[in-house]
Every structure is written in structure tokens, then in C-alpha cells.
Structure 1
Amino acid sequence: MTSFDTTVVICAYTADRWDDLTAAVASVRDQSAPPREIIVVVDHNPELERRAAAEFVGVTVVPNAGRRGLSGARNTAVGLAKGDVIAFLDDDAEAAPDWLEQLLAGYRDRDVLAVGGSARPRWPGGRRPAKLPAGRGSVHGELDWVVGCTYTGQPTAEEPVRNLMGCNMSFRREAFTLAGPFSEDLGRIGRTPLGCEETELCIRLRQASPGARIVFRPQAVVRHRVTPERITWAYLRRRGWGEGLSKAYVSRLVGSEAALSTERDYLSRTIPAAVVREFGRLALGRTAGASGVLGLVTVVSSTAAGYLRGKAQLRPPRPRPASALAHGPIHIATVDARTAPEELPVPHRPVGHYRAAQVLVRDGDRTLDVLLLPVERGVVRLPKFATAPAPRRRPEFTRPPVSVVIPTAHRKRQAVASARAALAAGYPHIEVIVVDNLPRLPEGDDWLRGEVEALGARYVVEPRKGVSIARNTGARVASHGLIAFVDENITVEPGWFDAVTEEFAADPAVGCVTSLVLPASLETDAEVLFERLKGYSNSVRWQRIDRDTAREDPLYPLSMARYGPGSCATWRREVFEDLGGFDPLLGAGTPTMAGEDLDLFVRLAYAGGAVVHTPHAVARHIHRADWLELRERMRGYGVGLAAMLVLSVRRRPVTAFSILRRVPRGAARLASRTPELPLSDRAARSRLRQLRRDERLGLLGGAAALMRARGEGGSGRR
């Protein structure tokens, strides 16, 4: 078992559960892995607080210092806890003697930030009611979540999950540093059956640290008492209604895609199977089958009604306090897990101050995570990091030569810096080709030529406008079998080529490798908004994308986020040439403005190819610092996406049906990718709405832009 100091938190609000609370505290005291401390938080009930403080010797008893409700009570305990792991147990649940031991065993992997266990019901009279049915011999039923217990459909062995159950869950302390506290706009208040605060926190934790894992470990067991009041028809309706309202609020906070991913599978598989089973019992003359069907229908319909009512609410809940981190300026930093200090100093700015820091966490040449952390009094408090490096998938391999193509137009000084960074990255077999796509004279730009050749790189002129044409020209003159396309405003960091070529060496079927692209600066509001809307720092997990591995994504192959940035990607020459290269009708420098990267990825997907995204290859992107430039860039994304879709349909008319089927889900995902901004910051909210309008307006102009591109001489792929 992994050794941790643990804090166990029990929240209570009524003296009616005194016997249950006493049993819960006793079960924690009897653990095979005793906790460092037990904290009982009493929710605005002074009489219960005094009684608990007098009778629970050796237990810290405190009042809820936050808003009334379970979330406020839990946040109070988190602020006081001293343990490395904070575990939560309901006041009407009893933990098995090895409960903590089993929870802590789930933390053997450093990527695990939260572990939860199963909850078994203690029914009144010791018998399961027919209205909450279960399969033969099963201790769990499909509706047991209504009474706060593990339900049919959850994993039966240790497995990563989206979220944990509130009565039996634990978190590493740093999880609250990363994600912030429980939302006090969610959670139960007294007997009101609202919830989902732990669901929202777990989703937010994954968003703050995409490399994090949340694990369900059914061996960690608690027994949850079910009162007679909780098995009445009135409570089932009220509980379902409250769950639906809560899910609607969560979807407003984190997006419906994340908030309802588990529920869709539950409704499409688990519930229909239960209904069929109960009708089968009814056909055999068992009256319990009728109660089971009615219970299923009552709870599901009440939940659906509550969700629809919640979605119709005009006022969303207040954003969490950590939402201020999405509003700049933001300090950029890199730390090594082996030598990271407990506190990272943040430099002073000439005007204003940093509210947050984006911290890239490395372990040698491996990326562990990208964190967004608050800046307090000029320092960032860093969580504890694993000291063992992530294992290499292929420690030794022959490093193949790489050609680097850097197209440039208006930002030629940035192109020189990009070429210099590529040559300084420490890779032994490399050629750098800078393609001048906006030469002052037909023979080229003398200044740029001199700077490039002084670096030992090649200078090539391509007077025909368009980044796609420039990239294709660079690929045509390249000497090597791997071609890295790096935009002029991107600089690769040391080790980038080693991490990329490692993937090609490990898997001959991979046609393209993309990398982790982080911002070079987040000083202006435009830079911060671009990062929150279109940045790539959320892709910190290694992944291989092909037809088989991407089936769970309903937008594949049209989901750009799955591939990583095409503006810093490396291709096998033969794959790139078989696809025909980038389409000259798409991309910067043409009326369509963008879309060329996704177009090439989509063609690769339809051809059965594979893309690998590696977070261990890190590059930095210079975001648009000017507000008007950012608006134009956002419009360009919309124009390019629409043009790319039209072009895809023209090439393969059969894809029209596939695209139309994905449009509603794509629009919902686009709307859900809204950064958390303080409601009080009217200027930031106004600018955010403007950027969304610009992107939507761009979508409307995509077809017309494609026609103009054809009229200007585009002739398809090279």
C-alpha cells in the first residue's frame, strides 16, 4: 500500500442522524490504515456542533464557514485538512475496515488525482424495495444512485471514470489547487435533493489537468443507510427532478459533452436492459415487475423533466472563484519535477500584475502536465510532482534525417527566429528550408536570404500566394523522408525532433506526428482569449488517432482538437505525397484563410492513416497580441472550416450525409468550449461574445470564399 497522510471528512447537518454520525466516526477510527485526522463539519447547526465537539474526542469539529450546504461544508474541511489525501464519507455511511487502505492503493500511479469506491445500500427492514429493482443475485440496481449508492452500469473492477460518488471519494490535496473548490451553487442544502457537485469538480479537474486520472475502485466499500422516506414515490420523483436540475447546471459550467457523456451510455444501454428484464418478470406473473417498470419510468422521466427545466433557466450559477484565472495576464513558466521548488517566484510587470501562471511540468525530456495555477503575493505554490520519469516507449532508435519547412509572409523576423530555434534544438540530422511567400522582388528578399543563409539554412522563393502552396514547394525541394512543417510564428524547444522521430521509429504505420504547442506569451487580453478559445495546451496526453481508436468521438474525422496543431506537424514524405499535399485553395494567404491542416488530416483519415500526438515534443506559438488581428483570425477559422467542408463534399459527395449528421454535435461542442470568465468583467464577456460572432460569421462566408479562391487561379492540390 502507498503511504500517505490522510484526512477523512464527514459533513453533518441534522441531529436526526446522530446515531448514523456516531457509527460513521467509529468506522473511520477502526480503519486498518488509520487516518492522520478526522474532521467533522457541521452545517449551520450550533447545537449539533456543540454535541459533536463534546462527544467525539480526538476529532476536529468545526462549523461550515461557507455558504449553507454540503459544498460549503466540504470546502471548509479542504481548507483545514493537513493530509496528502482528503477522503469524504457521508454522515449516514459506515466504512469497511479496509476502506482507506483500498482507496490509498488506487494512488500507486502518480497520474491518479482522485479515487472513489462503492457504496452498498442498507435497506429499511433489510430488504430491497421492488420499485428500485436489481438483477438476480446483484447487490446493485439500476436506480441505486437515487439513494446515493453504486448502481448497475458502473465498473465492477478498478477503472478510470469521469466522476466519483460523493459518499465515498478521495482526492490528492493538489487536486483542489488545480481545479479549485466544490461549486457552492451545487450540492445538497438540508433535505433538498440536489447534487452533482462532485461530478462538476471531477470534470473541472480533468479540464485543468488533462493528464489526470480519476479512478473507481470497487474494493473500497462503504455501507450507506437508506431511510424509509427515501424509498417513497414522492422522494423518487423529487430526487430525479433534482438530479436533472443539477445536470443542467453542470452542463452550463463545463459543457453538455462532458456533463452528459456517462449518462448517454446509461440511458441507451443500462435502462433499456432493465426495462426488458422487469417486463419479463411481469410476464411471469411477478407483481414486483410492475413496480420495477414504474420505478424506472418515474425516475428517468423526472430526471429528464428536471434537466429540461434547468436548461430553460435564464440565470446560470455563479462561476467558480478559479474562473478569474482565465483572465490575463498570465505568466509563462517551465519547471522540472525533480528540481521544482515549493514556491515559484513570478516577476513583476511594469503595469498590473499576474493573476495566474501557466506552468509546463517536465521530467527530463518527458512532459508530465501543463497547469494553470494562481499567483498569490508574487509566488506560485507548486504541488508535489512525481520524481520518476515517464518510461520511454523506445529508449534507443536510429534518428532519421528531417527536413523542416518554414513558410513565411508578413512575419519574416519570426521566421528567422523559428529557423534558428530548429537548428539549435540539438538534433544531428536536419535541414531547414525557409520558403519566402511574399518576396519584395521576383528573385527574393535580400535581407531574409542573407539571414537564412547565415544560419546555414536554405532559402526558397515561392511568389504564388498561399501557405499551402509555400509548404508544398518546401516539401518538393526537401531532401529527407520526414518533413516537419513549422509555421513562422512557432519555435520548437530542445528535444522536439527526438520526441517526434521517436514516434515514427516506434510505429511504421504512423503517417503524421503532431506536438504540444504552448503560448510564448500571455500578456495581452487578445493572447489570453486566443489561448482559451483556440490554444493547444489541453492536449497533454499521448494519443494515437486512427479509425479504430477514434470511434468514440462522434465528430471524427472532423474534430481538429483530436489531431493537435497542423501548423507544427511532421509527415512521412510518401504519405504526404500520396495525399497530394496541402490544397492550395485553403489556408492563409487565400480567400479561405484557414482549413488546410484539417483538410489534410481528414484526407489521411479517409485513407486509413494514423496520426500520433506526442506531448513530449514542445513548441511555443506567438499568439495574436492585437485585438483586431485576433478578430480577423477568428473569422478566418470559421471561413476555413466551412470552405474545407464544402471542398470535402465536392471531392466525396457521399460525405455530405456524414457531415450533416455531425453538425448538431459539432455546434454544441463549439459552444461548450467557452472559457470561464468572471461575470463581473463586462469587457471580457463582451469581447468573448464578439469573437464567437466573428467565428460564426466566418462560417457563413466559407462557400463564397472557396469560389473566390478558385477564381484567383487555384487548381486543386499540387
Structure 2
Amino acid sequence: MSDPATTVVVCAYTERRWDDLVAGLSALRAQTVPPGEIVLVIDHNPELERRATAAFDDVLVVPNAGRRGLSGARNTAIELAKGEVIAFLDDDAEPEPDWLEQLLAGYRDPRVLAVGGAARPVWPGHERSPLLPARGAGTGELDWVVGCTYTGQPTTDTPVRNLMGCNMSFRREAFELAGLFTEDLGRVGRTPLGCEETELCIRLHQASPGSVVLFRPGAVVRHRVTPDRLTWSYLRRRGWGEGVSKALVSRSVGADAALSTERGYLQRVIPAAAVRELSRLLRGRGSGLVGLLALVLVVGSTAVGYARGKLSRERLKAVAPKLVHGPIHVATVDLNRMPAQLPVPARAVGHYRAAQVLVRDGDRTLDVVLLPVRRGVVRLDLLGFGTSAPRPRPDFERPLISVVVPTAHRKAQAVASVRAALAAGYERLEILVVDNLPPGPDGDPELREQVERLGARYLVEPRKGVSIARNTGARASSGEFVAFVDENIRVEPGWFDAVAEEFATDPGVGCVTAMVLPASLETDAEVLFERLKGYSQHVRRQRLDRETVREDPLYPLSLARYGPGSCTTWRRSVFDGLGGYDPLLGAGTPAMAGEDLDLFVRLARAGGTVVYTPHAVARHTHRADWLELREQMRGYGVGLTAMLLLSVLRRPVGVFSILRRIPRGMARLASRTPELPLSDRAARSRLRQLRRDERSGMLSGPLALARAWRRYRFGARSGHR
């Protein structure tokens, strides 16, 4: 039986391991059974990517197309790999000449879906550290801390629960059965989390109970151990990270599967090691005390990390809108071409339980519905929408619309936003990208090239703040109407036509806001944000002027009725008459947010009109990370009170109106928690935390506004205003 064609994947993230990377790739080229292809994935490090592309002509060098971290990098390679077997090697590991041959030999049994090998440490100075105790010159009980084979692992070919990440391989079929690596797990840079390969192997066993994951100790790599991993601090952090990771895995696949190997390790291997080190201590050998303390520290830190992970609910099951748990598939269907059933793609982990479906009738929005997913499909024939006659396209002269896209930290998303605008099917567009975080006075050459290649204009605004960037773009534009589209928003086809129609049919409209739906609802953070702060909760067109809004007893604390400010179009004369966005507010300033609400308040006080149209649909990329979501919620709180204080400073008499409405506004804020099953304590805990973050931000708003004013005034006196 011939060996299957193979792809070897190496993932790298830092130039500090360049020499190790070169040595590892050289060793791959010298294998007794050469790999069919080598894929090097660079994890969000453009400089390293350019250097590797220039240095390795025979290697496919690609950037990580997923989330930052080892799991995302590995998934990127899996999508590109051509081999029947995909092997993974760390960027600081060097394989023995027969490494690949030994791995492939394990696949001669058709039941084997994954094969891994041993990792031998290469110590600094070639001497084992006393922090990692061992019996003689062999493996040590704590060698897993530095990513190497440890005492307790098999010494002969043996089926195991999971493989080691630095030395493993899988049949392509394994990923078809179990899915890809979970991007919520795994190392990100130097953060000592992991267990993504453990979770994948467990899923593989569950998906194919008769399959075998094989450990072959004869397939050896040499894993370099750096001095920074041989410290008490690293042992503590690594143990804690392992415990947290194991807790997350146990939530995903069950505690019995997640901890089956660890129970035997703690019951047999660790007690034997402790007895040995205690015996050394009693014989007067100082290394015994060091080894005993190391065992206690690592095991204790792991236990504490596991307990912390079990209590933490941030990365576990989320509460979706309307009491739906877990990730939600996002889709759009057209009534005129709507099938009876909508197939839902499989996920890397688990399944979708629901789908958020935008129902359109050509260029008109009919509804946004949440439907259950059963057996991989959504029943669309239950929606009850009848067929409709084609609606003639409105006949009016399309005006020139200038599109301003400010960008700072997510410049790749800004380029995607420009592409989406160009693909929206509106001929008279002027697009301006304002770089608000330029690396130098001339901006970012790479971003400039990408933007200008698409036919858009590239502007540089070094003064921090999205409000300043938007105002800069507006001043440089020439359209009668100015659309402000944030970098993390992509408009859909027909967006500009729907917006232009509103201005054409109602000359009194000063601003048009749009329906903004999530681009994805995959992670807990995305689902929670959509439930709490979803930008578009209704599908009816609304015309809002000062009188209709003031009917709300919470005005001006009910400004969400206007629609999302991150995707708006303004009549230029109205925007200029209001003076544009206030530079003291918005992302990039100490106030963090509030600039769009402030502009709506000024428009209402000036007697202006806003129209919200659900027929202009855009997609927003929500924060996928829990910590980022918490910071975003805090920022909303900061921006709200900063905006209200600024409003009072401009018009002091308005303070009495605001004070009367604060109690009712706070009550509405507190009651905004969705109805949840009483047993879902985790969901309630997460929602309460987000609400606390928002309230905490509200307390910081006045001080943040003062800091923003000082920074802006200082910049003005320095000539940088």
C-alpha cells in the first residue's frame, strides 16, 4: 500500500522564531518521504509574511484568513491543503529525518484517522531545568508545560484520546467528519491557552466511534525550549491556562471525555512523582524541594484555572434573540426566488439551532424572522408570504452620493466596505476612505494602493477621532448627499437606490438611516450584542421629526428610534448647517461614542427630519470577542452621558428636561433584559455584566468629555486641530 500524498502545515506568528522556522523547513525538505506540499501560515504579521515569501520559494506562504490565533491559522491551511493527509508542525520544532515516514506508516490501518508522535525537548544549554523534575535522563511529569512528551504517555504505538499540537496529522476525512479547529480555543500569540487539538480529537471520536487516533512515539520532533518557559511565573501561567482551556473543552464535549486522560495522570503519575521528589528532599538533595514545589505549583494552578473556567460563562452558550441558544445562521432570501427549504451549512463545532432570515421582495424588505433549523434545513414554506406583482423601479434622477469611510484599526474591513459599495449597483458614487490611524504623514502606502486601485480616493487625517475623520471626508467630497459608512459595515445591493429614493420623494428629509443587520451571529458576543443593541429591530419605514420624536416621554433619552448612526446619509446642506460631527465625541476620543446621537439631537432641535428605511440593508460585523464587547458596552455608556452633558452645555435650559427623564430612562435601561428561562443563570449573569459595564461607563462620561475637550484644545494650540 502506497503512502498517501501529504501536506505539512507550519504556523508562525513572530520573527523571534525565524532561525527555528528556517531549521524546521530545512528538515522537512530532507525527509525520507518528502511532503507533497508545505504550507506556511503567517498569523497576522505582514512583515513576517513578506520576509517568508521572499525566503522560501518552495513553500506556499499565506496569511491567516481567520481569527487571530493558532486555530484560525490551522483552519486557513486546511482549506488550502491538497494532501490526503495533513500534518502539523510547530514553528519552533524540528522533525527527525524519518518523521513523516513514521506518521504515514500509521495510516496503513484504514480505521486510523489521526496519527501523532513524540516531542523531545531541546533545553537551553542542553541541560534539563530542575523546575521540570524527571526520573533520570528520561521524560518528566511536567514536560507537557513546555509542549513536549511527558511521563505517562505511551512508549509504543497506542490508540489515544488526543495528540500533541506540535506533532500531529489527520486524514482529510477527519475534518469532514468532525469539522475544523475551534477558534474560541487555542494559543493566541504568547497567551498560554490551548487544548484545541484535544477538543478536535474528542469530536472526531464522537463523530466516528470506530475510528482510531494513534500515538506513534517513533515519529519524533525536537521542540526547542526557550529560557522564558523555565521560570516559576511561566509554570503558574501555563498551568492556569491549561485549566481554563480544559474547562472550556469540558463544556463543549462533556467533562467525562475532556478529563478522562487527566484523571489517570493525576491519580498515578503525579503522586509517584511527588513521592520521588520527597524522597530526594529527605536524602538532602536540593533538587527534590524544587521539583516538589514545581509539581504543587503547576497542579494547583491548573486546578484554579479549571475552577475559574467552569465559573466563567463568557465563551460558552449564548442567549440568542427570542430565547434561541447558540450560534445563529444569517441568510437573505428573495420572495420571487424563494425555495421551500433553505439548506444551512454545517459548522466546525455543533450545529445551528436557528437562522435569522431577511425576507426581501426584490428591492423591498418584507420581514426579518428567526426560524428553527432542523436536520440542516429551514422550512421557508411556513413563512406564509404570498407572491407579489413585480414593483416597477422608481423613476427619478440619481444624484451623486459621496461615501465617506473612516478607518483606523480595521483597514482590511474598510477595503471590503468599499468593494461592497461599488457592488451595490449605483452608478453615481464618489468614495473617500479617510485613514485616521496613518503610520506616517503620507499615510499607509499599502492601503492607499488598494483604495485607489478600486477607484476611490484616499485621505489622511492624523488627528484621532471618527468625528474628525468623517468631517474631513465630508469637506473633501463633492456630492449633494454624503453617506457615512463605518469600516465594519458592508452595504448590500440596492442600498444607495433606496436612500436616494427617500431624498427624491421628500425634499424635507435631512438624513436617511438604514436597516443594519449582523454579518454573522457565530460567537456568544455577537449574539448578545444583537439581542441588546441590535441596530434594526423593526421593518417599517419611519419618518421622524421634532414633533413625532418629542411624543416619546423619554426624549432625548430615546434617540435609538432614529436608527444606527454608523450607516447614515445626510443632505449636504443640512449636514453643513449643523456644523458636522462634534470632534469631542466618538470613537478615538476619551468620550468613546455619542457623536451620532449628538448630531441627531441637533437636527431635531433645528426642526429637521430623519427617515428610517428598512429597504436599504447593510451588514455590520459585530465584536466577536467577549472582552471587546464589554469595552464596547462601556463605551456606549461613556458616550451617552458625555453627549447629554455636551447638549446641556450648549443649551443649559435643557437640563431640566433631561433630569425629569433620567429616572424613567434608567428604568427602561434596567428592564431591557430579554425574557430568559429561569434556569439559564449563565445568560442572566452575562447580561447583568454587560449592563454593569454600560452603567459604569455612564458614570465616566463627564470626566471623559473634559479629557476630550482638553485634548482637542491642546491640539488646536499646537497647530494640529
Normalised by the size of structure 1, how large is the TM-score? Answer: 0.54
The 3-state SS of whatever aligns with 2:357 is strand
- Superimposed CA distance per residue, residues 197-229 of structure 1 (whole angstroms, 9 cap, x where no aligned partner): xxxxxxxxxxxxxxxxxxxxxxxxxxxxxxxxx
1:552 deviates by 3.0
Runs of 4+ with >6 A deviation: 321-324, 715-718
For 2:331, give the aligned amino acid. Answer: A
For 1:576, give the aligned amino acid. Answer: F
1:714 deviates by 4.7
Cα contact 1:325–1:372 (8 A) shared by 2: no
The 3-state SS of whatever aligns with 2:433 is strand
Matches within 5 A, 1:6-155: none
Output the CA distance in 1 between the equivalents of 2:376 and 2:595.
42
Matches within 5 A, 1:290-309: none
Name the counterpart of 1:435.
Answer: 434
Name the counterpart of 2:519.
Answer: 520
1:716 deviates by 12
Cα contact 1:325–1:355 (8 A) shared by 2: no
Aligned length: 397
Name the counterpart of 1:675.
Answer: 674
Output the CA distance in 2 between the equivalents of 1:713 and 1:462.
14
Matches within 5 A, 1:623-702: 623-702=622-701
Name the counterpart of 1:449.
Answer: 448
CA separation of 1:566 and 1:596: change in aligned 2, threshold 3 A: same
Name the counterpart of 1:385.
Answer: 385
Output the CA distance in 1 between the equivalents of 2:551 and 2:337.
39
- Superimposed CA distance per residue, residues 373-423 of structure 1 (whole angstroms, 9 cap, x where no aligned partner): 12222222221113226968x821111000000000000000000011111
1:354 deviates by 0.9
CA separation of 1:402 and 1:322: change in aligned 2, threshold 3 A: closer
1:443 deviates by 1.1
Cα contact 1:516–1:615 (8 A) shared by 2: yes
1:352 deviates by 1.4
Cα contact 1:327–1:525 (8 A) shared by 2: no
Q: How large is the RMSD of aligned CA atoms in angstroms?
A: 2.0
Output the CA distance in 2 between the equivalents of 1:514 and 1:699.
25
Output the CA distance in 2 between the equivalents of 1:647 and 1:572.
24
1:373 aligns with one of 371, 374, 377: 371
1:356 deviates by 1.0
Name the counterpart of 1:606.
Answer: 605
Output the CA distance in 2 between the equivalents of 1:497 and 1:437.
25
Output the CA distance in 1 between the equivalents of 2:484 and 2:562.
15
CA separation of 1:714 and 1:474: change in aligned 2, threshold 3 A: farther
Cα contact 1:592–1:640 (8 A) shared by 2: yes
- Superimposed CA distance per residue, residues 648-685 of structure 1 (whole angstroms, 9 cap, x where no aligned partner): 00000011011112212222222232233343333222
Cα contact 1:584–1:716 (8 A) shared by 2: no
CA separation of 1:390 and 1:641: change in aligned 2, threshold 3 A: farther
Cα contact 1:526–1:626 (8 A) shared by 2: yes
For 1:335, give the aligned amino acid. Answer: V
Query: Aligned pair 1:401/2:400, yes or no?
Result: yes
Output the CA distance in 1 between the equivalents of 2:501 and 2:322.
39
Output the CA distance in 2 between the equivalents of 1:360 and 1:669.
28
Output the CA distance in 1 between the equivalents of 2:682 and 2:449.
45
Output the CA distance in 2 between the equivalents of 1:322 and 1:625.
14
CA separation of 1:413 and 1:611: change in aligned 2, threshold 3 A: same
Matches within 5 A, 1:87-236: none
| Overall identity of the aligned pairs, in % | 76
For 1:483, give the aligned amino acid. Answer: V
Name the counterpart of 1:330.
Answer: 328
The 3-state SS of whatever aligns with 1:338 is helix
Cα contact 1:358–1:372 (8 A) shared by 2: yes
Cα contact 1:586–1:594 (8 A) shared by 2: yes
1:343 deviates by 2.3
Normalised by the size of structure 2, how large is the TM-score? Answer: 0.53
CA separation of 1:552 and 1:441: change in aligned 2, threshold 3 A: same
Output the CA distance in 2 between the equivalents of 1:326 and 1:701.
34
Query: Aligned pair 1:622/2:621, yes or no?
Result: yes
Moved more, 345-354 or 660-669: 660-669
Name the counterpart of 2:353.
Answer: 355
Cα contact 2:516–2:536 (8 A) shared by 1: yes
Cα contact 2:400–2:428 (8 A) shared by 1: yes
Matches within 5 A, 1:263-282: none
The unaligned stretches of length 5 or more in structure 2 are 1-318
The 3-state SS of whatever aligns with 1:634 is helix
Moved more, 521-530 or 379-388: 379-388
The 3-state SS of whatever aligns with 1:620 is strand
Cα contact 2:345–2:376 (8 A) shared by 1: yes
Cα contact 1:355–1:375 (8 A) shared by 2: yes
2:338 aligns with one of 312, 319, 340: 340
For 1:702, give the aligned amino acid. Answer: G
- Superimposed CA distance per residue, residues 552-608 of structure 1 (whole angstroms, 9 cap, x where no aligned partner): 311234322211001000001110011010000000000000000000000000000
The 3-state SS of whatever aligns with 1:354 is coil
- Superimposed CA distance per residue, residues 513-569 of structure 1 (whole angstroms, 9 cap, x where no aligned partner): 000000000000000000001112313110000023334311234322211001000
1:323 deviates by 7.1
Name the counterpart of 1:150.
Answer: none
1:336 deviates by 1.1
Name the counterpart of 1:543.
Answer: 542
Cα contact 1:403–1:483 (8 A) shared by 2: yes
Cα contact 1:344–1:380 (8 A) shared by 2: yes
- Superimposed CA distance per residue, residues 129-165 of structure 1 (whole angstroms, 9 cap, x where no aligned partner): xxxxxxxxxxxxxxxxxxxxxxxxxxxxxxxxxxxxx
Output the CA distance in 1 between the equivalents of 2:444 and 2:686.
38
- Superimposed CA distance per residue, residues 440-461 of structure 1 (whole angstroms, 9 cap, x where no aligned partner): 0111001100100010000000
Output the CA distance in 1 between the equivalents of 2:321 and 2:676.
6
Name the counterpart of 1:469.
Answer: 468
- Superimposed CA distance per residue, residues 261-317 of structure 1 (whole angstroms, 9 cap, x where no aligned partner): xxxxxxxxxxxxxxxxxxxxxxxxxxxxxxxxxxxxxxxxxxxxxxxxxxxxxxxxx
Output the CA distance in 2 between the equivalents of 1:323 and 1:401.
38
1:686 deviates by 1.4
Output the CA distance in 1 between the equivalents of 2:561 and 2:534.
13
Name the counterpart of 1:186.
Answer: none
Name the counterpart of 1:563.
Answer: 562
1:711 deviates by 1.2
CA separation of 1:437 and 1:513: change in aligned 2, threshold 3 A: same
Cα contact 2:437–2:462 (8 A) shared by 1: yes
Cα contact 1:330–1:357 (8 A) shared by 2: yes
The 3-state SS of whatever aligns with 1:510 is coil
Cα contact 1:492–1:618 (8 A) shared by 2: yes
1:630 deviates by 0.3
Output the CA distance in 2 between the equivalents of 1:380 and 1:514.
30
